[in-house]
Structure 1
Amino acid sequence: MRALFLAGLAMLALAIPAVPAPQPLAPPNAPPNAPAKVPAAPITALAYRPDGGLLLVGTYGRILAVDPQSGRVLGHLAGLPQQVTAILFHPKGQSVAIACGEPGQRGELRFIDLPAPSATGTIETMLATTTRWTLPAAHRDRIPAIAFTPDGQLLATASYDRRIQLWDTASGKLIRTLTDHSDSVYDVAIDPTGKWLASVSADRAVKVWEIATGNRLYTLSDATDWLYAVRWTADGKRLVAAGVDRSLRIWEANGDGAKLVRSAFAHQGAVLQLLMGQSDASLFTVGEDKVIKRWSESTLAEQAVFAPRSDSVQSLALRPDGHQLAVGRFDGGLQLLAAADGKAEQTVLPVLAPKPATQPAPKPAPQAATQPVGASATASHTASPKAEKPPLPMVESVTPTRMTRGQTQRFNLTGKHLQQLTGVTASLPGIVATLEPLDGPPTQRILRVQIPATVEPGTVTLTLKATSGPVKPISLLVDRFPGRQEVGLRDSALTLPVSIHGEIARAGEVDAFAITLAAGQQVGVQLQHDASATFDPVLEWGTASGQRLGEGMGGLMAIRAPQAGDYRIWVRDRQYRGPGQYRLHLGPIPIVTGIFPRGGQAGTTRTVQLIGVNLPQESLPVAIPATAKIGGDLPVTLPPGILGQAKLRIGHVPEVHAPGMLPVPGVGNGRLDGIPAQIWKFPAKKGQRLILETHAARIGSPVDTIIDMLDESGQLLERATLRCQAKTTVAFRPHDSKKPGIRLDTWNELAMQDFIYINGELMKIDNLPANPDADCMFESVNNERRAYLGTSPRYHAAAEAVYKVSIHPPGSTFPPNGMPVFHLPVRNDDGGPGFGSDSMLEFDPPRDAVYQVRVRAADGVVNASMGAIASYRLTVRPPQPDFTVRFTPNAPAVWKGNGLPIGVQVERHDGFAEAISVELVDLPPGFRSQAGRVDADKWSSAITLFADAQATAPKPDSKPIRLIARAMVNGQEWVREFVGGVPTLRDPGDLQTRTVESAVEIRPGQETKLTVQIDRLGDFKGRVPLEVRGLPYGVRVMNIGLNGILVLPGQTSREVVLYAEPWVKPTSQPMVILSRSERKGTEHAAKPVLLRVVGP
């Protein structure tokens, strides 16, 4: 059972008096230490005031005020509708947002002002309340989570109605609604800058939104089941989420995207809630297993595991100072725990009724509008014995399990004590569900459900009510059309429209369905599947003979029959694995597969053509805000009922939407559906370099573009002439287009920095083979081979010819030397790092002229019946050379008394090739590092971060470390920086590394040596690989064997020999010397060694 639903169920028959209107927080009129009798309703919401001096406790129909220091109940606010689901103090602490309401009906939102504590600190003055505004129907279902922006001006609410809404806290005005989740939204979190909002849902997605615009920036789909909780780390650089798949995941996240950096199995059941400490790098989780855990946010290591609670934990709150946890349970229990170890400080609730007194009972008190916490309406109620609780109903089966939307259907419930069921509510508005009167044994009930035709197919959750408390929810599958069961592997003939329930039962299985279509007939196909992590369904369609005509994307596929006849639809797993269940809907479903044009200029209104099937309209106007992020995507709001997604790429220069003359700078929007190529023209001047690039795959288009540069007459321009100077062959095996290493037959005529040409790909040698069984390493970026002069990396077969070449101007001629001469056109297929299959050219006009650029598909003519739009955006602009830097790990855990290698990565843009100096700054006391360098035209290097043996852990408020990068460009210094996290200390692991020398010198064309020493710690006795990083280009390690440089078992030192190529220029920079523990995969760096390359 998914316990989080319990917080969304109506808690009926609880001994809590309902009051027609909200009452002010009432101070108790009992003596300070007298126990108050509090009904044992589930504690479903908790919130500390920002100063930690007050705790608010949400339960059924009321909020209690608790002193966190003594645990004393101070008063209550009564009269709230049904269960309180969320409470949150305003960042300034003088106001409170409260969410409550009825499941399946409405979510109410209130904003209440609380005056600051008086100078005397009396509790009575603190409990006075003023309601600023109330929204009785802020949402159409329960509101499980709320979040303030840091400035407190906006309040975000999440609801089971699938919506996220942003409210102005001053007025209660709705600012915007975010609607991209396909199931209940359980939690929202706002980053410390107030720019981004993260949300999680039962659709298994983490979505990140831009608060200022409401744009969804991206979706994280790593989770394999429902997600219940999400939080930003205190520095705002990482995002943490958890849910039903029992795992914690951490992403490095910002407005541009996120990367999963760490995950851990957290609990034996679903993770229900997580909290992020503000004063240290800790986070807390609670699971269905009733266990609370404390984790290290940087490593996801368990710091503490608290004893299981006596009942399910419904709510959790961390005091702002990080020292106290408030825990609310389903049985009404409230405990205050020490956050460090989970030891109980106070047990606040429930306070049991006092034992029978020997004195006469007091006379009944008159009914009052406002009563102290736990006070009953009359004395006779207080003295009444506790009534016996009715048995809890249990639904064991539901038949049938699915229905078609737009219909009414009866369902048979089978179970125990079903006579106690009193009602039912649905998770979506418009659904009418009723229980028929009991007409038979209490093990059978009839449920009648009516589903509107507008409800999207999928899972509908029904919440059953009972006099004895909450009942486990039941789920029904809603089909779009009349359903049938898939019959197996053979072609199954279908009559449209239809919904199919199918299963890939075993590895290698492909389900096929036959349909007969008229010429031009349009069919929309929607595939929904279970949350299995191993099932990645692929949806395809084609002819009866097996020819594939199209593939779905995101579970949607548009079919437009090119001619009358029989067709097939196939469902399979992408990796041909199994098992996996799915639901397939086929019929007149309106689906958008694309729009055209695919982008627009900020500050304009663009009419876009809708492409797809069964569409009620062909175009749609889209207003692009002037403040839209350049280079970002603007989601297009489609008309109601249309499935699919569409986005506009935002530009800042004029745009043209048909082939013709392009302004410079400018963007041309084109399509290659069913045509071989399109030609655009633009003016250019000699000596003024231009950048030409396409956006196709990067904006979701299926086309792989190639761009050719033509002169005024349409003739292909030549870029360079390659003269061959030596020849060898590819050896041993074929090589793909990615890996930087290629095995060569011989290399005695080759040297570092030589250009090599293999079957259309021009590359440069980075390092020669270290031995006969090693590859020749070519220049690469992020471990992917880099091609030059507009060529693209290619697959190379064994025995393919390999040429060492020199580069000459176009049209050059040479005396024959028995080897071929290659002429490179001004052409590009794949643009290099960051471009994927999109194209990019640096074009140097040979003269003033109007040039032509031809855009074509690498695979030839794109089949227009494929359903997707073969659109692209061609940009012509002047270069904008620049660079960015980053380092990993960016929140390093450093060994005490040793160092950690830090990798530095550079992204170079538009031909920027200068050398870059890098340095870590804002290091905490006891941490040290030396400046490093990324050589010209290189993309990475390394430096060492060292921690003294006497270093202490950085304080929680320590500054994050920063990487400062500097480059000199035309006499001016360019500075870029990357902000990381606060480093942490680790106890020494398996190894400690040091060197005998602190500095070494080397001359070009000569060798030098240094000695590396290691200490094995603990029980580690194995061999130890050594490595040297951060060397100037042209300096390399010579004594590398087949397995690298090894310190064998029983040895404690090893000599390392360095060689400098004759062309290396004088320089001085630190090297990274490290050892590696093979059993743990850890790296241990010595103090940096300064390498000085001196003149001859």
Structure 2
Amino acid sequence: MKSAFGILGLWCFLAAAGGVRSADAVDFAELMPILTQHCAECHTGKDADGSLVVDSRDALLKGGESGPAVRPGQSAESLLVQTLEGRAEKKGKKIVMPPGRKEKLSSAQIALFKSWIDGGAKPPAKAVVAELSVPKVPVRSQPKPSVFSMAYASGPQRLAVGRHGKVELWDGKDRSIQRTLEGHRGDVTSLVFNADGSLLYAASGRPGQFGEIRVWKTADGQLQHLYEGHRDAIYALALNAAGSILASGSYDQSIVLWDPDRRVAKHTLAVHNGAIFDLAFRADGRLLASASLDRTVKLWDAEAGLRRDTLSQSSREVYAAVFSRDGQRLWTAGADNRIRVYQISPSAAETTNPLLEARYAHEGAVLKLALSEDGNRLASGADDGTVKIWETSSLKETTALERQPDWPSALAFLKNNILAVGRLDGSIGYYEATTGKSASPPAQPELTRIESRGLHAGTSGSGILVGKNLGQVRELKSASPKVKVRLEEGATRSETELTVVWTAEADAPLGPVEIWAVWEGGDSGRKPIYIDDVPQRFEGTNALSMKVDSSFWGKLDPAGDLDEIEFEARAGQGLVVDLRSSSLGGKGSPSIAVIDPKGRVVAESRGGDSAEPILEFEPATSGRYRLRLRDRMAAGSTEHDYRVTLSTRGMVTGVFPLAAHRQGGQEVRLEGYLVRKARPVRLESTEANETELNLDSKSFRLRQPVKVPRTAFTEIIERESNDTPTTAQILAPGEAVSGRMGSATDADYFSFAASEGQDFVIETTATRWGTQADTRVEILWPDGRPVQRVRLQAMRNTAINFRPIDSNSGGARLDHYEEMELNQFLYLRGEVVKLFRMPQGPDSEMAFYSRNGKRKGYFDTSAMAHPIEEVGYIVEPHPPGTPPAANGLPSFTLTYANDDDADRKFGADAKLFFRAPRSGSFLVRVTESRGGFGDRFAYRLEVREPKPDFALTLNETKLQVARGSGQSFTYTAERRDGFEGEIQIDLEGQPEGVRISSPLLIQAGHMTASGVVFVTEKAKIESSGFSLTARASASFGGVRIEKNVPSLIRVEVKEAPKLFVRLEAVEKSAASAQESLEPEVLVIRPGQIIPAMLRVSRSGHDDLITFNVGNLPHGVIVDNIGLNGVLMPRGEHEREIFLHAARWVAPQERLCFAVENQAGRQTSRPVLLRVASTN
């Protein structure tokens, strides 16, 4: 019920006070956790009971409906105390808190609040952040890294195992882990080796965002390439036998066919109506089968990118597909419990692939299929925990394995008919395929972890190596000559543990040093020990106690474990607690608290630099303190290691100001923990972009080197109080300022002068340099009013359909998209995007302009997530103050403001482009988007004139071109500081008889342009080929600037291809000469459709051909092509196409070309497309 006093919701308090304390001894910080835990549910926000909010000391002083709840210095008169003691009255009745049958506060607890009030109800000594206290619910077991995929390479006998975020490479003979490939984003759902096992393709991705394929060199574990594609996680991969086509299938319902040599996508097959779960190539490398959620298996001509047949006999989802070794049969399986076998014809055309048999195989859904190396056995695994082996010739069950402890999520046949079964519980089982019996791996030593792995430099110590089959180890090695390691003489040895002795010289390198075991068969995997400059203690060999200036190693095991480490501290002694776990290989997410001799929490941290807790505190009294450690998720295991260091030395994490001028003499203050008294560091002059500080190791500890960015700006520091428009700090030209967020509501104001029409860039740097601030910037008039930027008038409405989009999505499905035009602006709840490409079919989305792989915001609006059915509007921009149109639709006024850089380069840092509407002073307001504050919430602000620029990259630096044909290349622009203009690229250096696309134009606002190198039959080219040079130019404010750009390093002539391509006017004959160096001209007008002719000369490639027309102006498309694109059937030599120019396309000239996709991507001679004026 509502209380007249506004405090009836204060019904339970947690902390027990040890007795009456002096008024000065009670800090509000001790009361805040109590209020947060037990009162915030009813007394926060706008609907707080009795209008009383208890989230701060100021809120208690303000009170609720009946006035202040606290009267400083007068606890007896304070309504808070009166209700706690039952002295308050309402309508003649006594009111006591907690109400009803709730347990009342003890006198000691009430005394704690009374002491604070009588002491003046002072604010906390340090800023207090309210933290939600939640029950600690121990987990019963630690989650294990599931196996999601496996693949086997028979040549090197190597097994790849995909887990979350990583791939393990196992030796197929001794089944030991050779190396781990880290860095995958999401679950590794599919793996495939190339023919000789030298490369491994691994698929993963983030649901609803993107898919990725990482290509690894298996010999040394080096990443060779990263493919990024799809709009959802990738679930399936397949590589044809020749290694010329890589197929990926995603939850976004599409299949992408990649060219591994050129590392580009050749085709996108978006015909399935459900997620793609499996892909398989026939032995000929051309026919591809895809298994889908839509209950079908489709057969594809992967060279042409065309569907051959759809197998729709399954009644539920299809999860797996595999071809026989001769390619004549296809097995499929899925959620309807059946394995189906099809007879596949050589052409795989419709009606030629009959179903031979459907066998009820498992009681559960069939998850995986695998074929033995000899092709005689087929393995199937189901979600009922069963795995069966079948004879392929008759689909007769020959062996049933023991029931698996968890879902068999991956299957792979190894040498000698050994079947590996990967499970969701993370384990892997090995079985003899002929008998179903367990096939134990050869007993080879395996090093899994090291106990007591810290060592004080200049000392010796002992540790324990833990693993398997360690009795064979004869020697140990170290990666540093300053660190020696050996087996302990006379120590008891076992197969699972070895006691070792290690010695670190006094000048040994601090940090991790790898050690490994050696036996007759080779080396084990490497594990690190850690060299430090303080003594090390270990849980198990030492009591749970430590000394100041030492480290303690322990583990949180089992789940829910809590460690309390005792230490002696002196009053007034500054101490830093540094807790490390994940950076040392630990699996946990620990928190830490300092408990004083009376059992009170005097310092606590649940986060910090590198997401590992750091805190500092100063003991109020001398005595025995405790460090309390627990896992935030109540998890625990033998791998939940931690190291906590208690030090009197300061911990340096950064500097302030955040940057310094390159000229010497400027000082920076050290930032971090227990460094407030440290002397500033004076910097020397440098031309470098950063300076690494050489700090005294006797005074400071570091987690990582401290580096100071060096700039051309005069770097100054924010001067308080600049938290109102009238007290704004003045920024002179050439100055950049470093500031901090002082409170949750802090707003820092800075003033700068501008002339009418002058352009500025307002930019913050915070997260990029390691601070925690998520900044937002706004431009204001001197009186604090926002400066209006543009008024957007809605012209038609729309809404997001089918599925929501996150802040990174490059497109959305929209209602009424047929009414829209490209380049129109779309307003979505404060975010403005621009339409780039229309949906390319009924199951496609409207694409937006993107930058750096994410959609770009216009008018510096920041990206955000949008739910399904959110309303949006196609809008037109108008100057501020323009009267709204009388069309029944709303208008929106945007001010100059930005939260996250709209070009998606700077993460959470802000960047804003501003043009002064008149001469005078303007204000920049900087705030923290989430309300964070403190020393770690620092930022750097610069207000400068823009420096528009661009840089270009080239996708190919070496081309092989056949006479009478061409090859394409693409330039990609990186636009800087708001430059959106046209970029012209001029190439030269071609010998006689060679035609190149020059000049090449990247259109305004666009990022790429593609060109052709075409070699005629009579071209005069030396055997070594030739080189091209390139220069780019663009206009900046009316001034034309030229610069050197990457060039085609080498063009070589190769043998004649099987196909020659021409793009010509319709009336041109098929025998037209290819020798002319002047481009043919096609003329089109805005809104017009014109015909053109694709012609080919076949010289060994008689099959179907698909084409793309490249480098068309934006707004000109190849029309009426259907879902399969531009294609030319088998045996034909020409195809008429139609070019369609949108009504808004401006007059221009652009060199375009045709490229085929089946015979080495041969291209036509460049053709000049002239968009003529409609006049």
Q: TM-score, normalised by structure 2?
A: 0.50
- Taking the TM superposition and a 5 Å limit, the aligned residue runs for 1:751-830 are 751-814=821-884, 816-830=886-900
Structure of greater relative contact order (alpha carbons < 8 Å, 6+ residues apart): 1
Q: Secondary structure at the match of 2:768?
A: helix
Amino acid of the structure 2 residue aligned with 1:404: L
- Taking the TM superposition and a 5 Å limit, the aligned residue runs for 1:767-916 are 767-814=837-884, 816-833=886-903, 834-862=905-933, 864=934, 869-892=936-959, 894=961, 898-916=965-983
Are the equivalent residues in 2 in contact too, given 1:993–1:1013 (CA < 8 A)?
yes
Question: Residue 614 of structure 2 is aligned with which of 554, 558, 569?
Answer: 558
Partner of 2:29: none
Q: Does 1:456 align with 2:510?
A: yes
- Taking the TM superposition and a 5 Å limit, the aligned residue runs for 1:685-724 are 685-724=755-794
Partner of 2:1085: 1003
Amino acid of the structure 2 residue aligned with 1:636: L
Are the equivalent residues in 1 in contact too, given 2:808–2:863 (CA < 8 A)?
yes
Matches of 1:884 and 1:445, distance apart in 2: 57
Are the equivalent residues in 2 in contact too, given 1:599–1:649 (CA < 8 A)?
yes
Are the equivalent residues in 2 in contact too, given 1:915–1:935 (CA < 8 A)?
yes
Matches of 1:722 and 1:1064, distance apart in 2: 23
Distance change >3 Å, CA 680–CA 268, structure 1 → 2 = closer
Alpha-carbon offset, residue 893 of structure 1: 5.1
Are the equivalent residues in 2 in contact too, given 1:605–1:621 (CA < 8 A)?
no
Are the equivalent residues in 2 in contact too, given 1:529–1:580 (CA < 8 A)?
no
Are the equivalent residues in 2 in contact too, given 1:527–1:584 (CA < 8 A)?
yes
Partner of 2:696: 639
Q: Does 1:1086 align with 2:1164?
A: yes
Distance change >3 Å, CA 674–CA 1095, structure 1 → 2 = same
Deviations 1:89-130 (A, max 9, x none): xxxxxxxxxxxxxxxxxxxxxxxxxxxxxxxxxxxxxxxxxx
- Taking the TM superposition and a 5 Å limit, the aligned residue runs for 1:76-115 are none
Matches of 1:716 and 1:725, distance apart in 2: 25
Tell me the number of residue pairs that the alignment of Structure 1 and Structure 2 aligns. 695
Amino acid of the structure 2 residue aligned with 1:944: V
Are the equivalent residues in 2 in contact too, given 1:896–1:947 (CA < 8 A)?
yes
Deviations 1:1041-1063 (A, max 9, x none): 33444446676654432111223
Alpha-carbon offset, residue 1036 of structure 1: 2.2
- Taking the TM superposition and a 5 Å limit, the aligned residue runs for 1:186-205 are none
- Taking the TM superposition and a 5 Å limit, the aligned residue runs for 1:116-515 are 265=217, 267=219, 402=453, 404-405=455-456, 407-409=459-461, 427-429=480-482, 449=503, 451-452=505-506, 456-459=510-513, 477-478=529-530, 480=532, 482-484=536-538, 498-500=551-553
Q: Secondary structure at the match of 1:605?
A: coil
Question: Residue 1002 of structure 2 is aligned with which of 930, 934, 937?
Answer: 934
Q: Does 1:745 align with 2:819?
A: no
Matches of 1:672 and 1:621, distance apart in 2: 23
Are the equivalent residues in 2 in contact too, given 1:894–1:947 (CA < 8 A)?
yes
Are the equivalent residues in 2 in contact too, given 1:706–1:830 (CA < 8 A)?
yes
Distance change >3 Å, CA 298–CA 995, structure 1 → 2 = closer
Partner of 1:654: 714
Alpha-carbon offset, residue 448 of structure 1: 7.6
Could you tell me which runs of 5 or more consecutive residues in structure 1 were left unpaired when the two chains were aligned.
1-222, 227-244, 250-259, 272-296, 301-394, 465-469
Partner of 2:741: 672
Distance change >3 Å, CA 512–CA 608, structure 1 → 2 = farther
Distance change >3 Å, CA 401–CA 821, structure 1 → 2 = closer
C-alpha RMSD of the superposition: 5.5
Matches of 2:500 and 2:898, distance apart in 1: 67
Partner of 1:596: 656
Deviations 1:466-505 (A, max 9, x none): xxxx999999834645454799xxxx98868544476999
Distance change >3 Å, CA 458–CA 988, structure 1 → 2 = farther
Are the equivalent residues in 2 in contact too, given 1:600–1:624 (CA < 8 A)?
no
Matches of 2:261 and 2:832, distance apart in 1: 43
Amino acid of the structure 2 residue aligned with 1:1074: V
Q: Does 1:587 align with 2:625?
A: no
Amino acid of the structure 1 residue aligned with 2:1173: G
Distance change >3 Å, CA 1042–CA 720, structure 1 → 2 = same
Partner of 1:605: 665
Are the equivalent residues in 1 in contact too, given 2:473–2:517 (CA < 8 A)?
no
Amino acid of the structure 2 residue aligned with 1:797: P
Question: Residue 685 of structure 2 is aligned with which of 625, 634, 637?
Answer: 625
Alpha-carbon offset, residue 759 of structure 1: 0.6
Matches of 1:595 and 1:680, distance apart in 2: 22
Deviations 1:914-972 (A, max 9, x none): 3222233345787642112112232222212335678899877x886433212245654
Range with bigger deviation, 923-932 or 594-603: 923-932
Alpha-carbon offset, residue 796 of structure 1: 1.7
Matches of 2:960 and 2:557, distance apart in 1: 45
Range with bigger deviation, 521-530 or 757-766: 521-530
Matches of 1:474 and 1:729, distance apart in 2: 55
Question: Residue 1108 of structure 2 is aligned with which of 1027, 1038, 1043?
Answer: 1027
Alpha-carbon offset, residue 1091 of structure 1: 0.9
Q: Secondary structure at the match of 1:1072?
A: strand
Identity over the aligned pairs, expressed in percent? 24
Deviations 1:26-56 (A, max 9, x none): xxxxxxxxxxxxxxxxxxxxxxxxxxxxxxx
Distance change >3 Å, CA 526–CA 1093, structure 1 → 2 = same
Matches of 2:611 and 2:645, distance apart in 1: 12
Alpha-carbon offset, residue 1074 of structure 1: 2.1
Distance change >3 Å, CA 400–CA 799, structure 1 → 2 = closer
Amino acid of the structure 2 residue aligned with 1:427: S
Q: Secondary structure at the match of 1:698?
A: helix
Matches of 2:537 and 2:891, distance apart in 1: 66
Distance change >3 Å, CA 658–CA 715, structure 1 → 2 = same
Distance change >3 Å, CA 890–CA 521, structure 1 → 2 = same
Amino acid of the structure 2 residue aligned with 1:558: I
Distance change >3 Å, CA 571–CA 1004, structure 1 → 2 = same
Partner of 2:282: none
Are the equivalent residues in 2 in contact too, given 1:537–1:572 (CA < 8 A)?
no
Matches of 1:719 and 1:933, distance apart in 2: 31
Could you tell me which runs of 5 or more consecutive residues in structure 2 were left unpaired when the two chains were aligned.
1-178, 183-196, 202-211, 224-259, 264-444, 595-600, 620-624, 720-728, 1066-1079
Amino acid of the structure 2 residue aligned with 1:1071: C
Alpha-carbon offset, residue 688 of structure 1: 1.8
Q: Secondary structure at the match of 1:625?
A: coil
Distance change >3 Å, CA 569–CA 595, structure 1 → 2 = farther
Are the equivalent residues in 2 in contact too, given 1:1071–1:1090 (CA < 8 A)?
yes
Distance change >3 Å, CA 473–CA 954, structure 1 → 2 = farther
Q: Secondary structure at the match of 1:861?
A: coil
Matches of 1:823 and 1:758, distance apart in 2: 13
Range with bigger deviation, 1062-1071 or 767-776: 767-776
Deviations 1:61-101 (A, max 9, x none): xxxxxxxxxxxxxxxxxxxxxxxxxxxxxxxxxxxxxxxxx
Matches of 2:526 and 2:1142, distance apart in 1: 73
Distance change >3 Å, CA 657–CA 1086, structure 1 → 2 = same
Amino acid of the structure 2 residue aligned with 1:265: K
Amino acid of the structure 2 residue aligned with 1:1089: V
Partner of 1:946: 1014
Alpha-carbon offset, residue 1029 of structure 1: 2.6
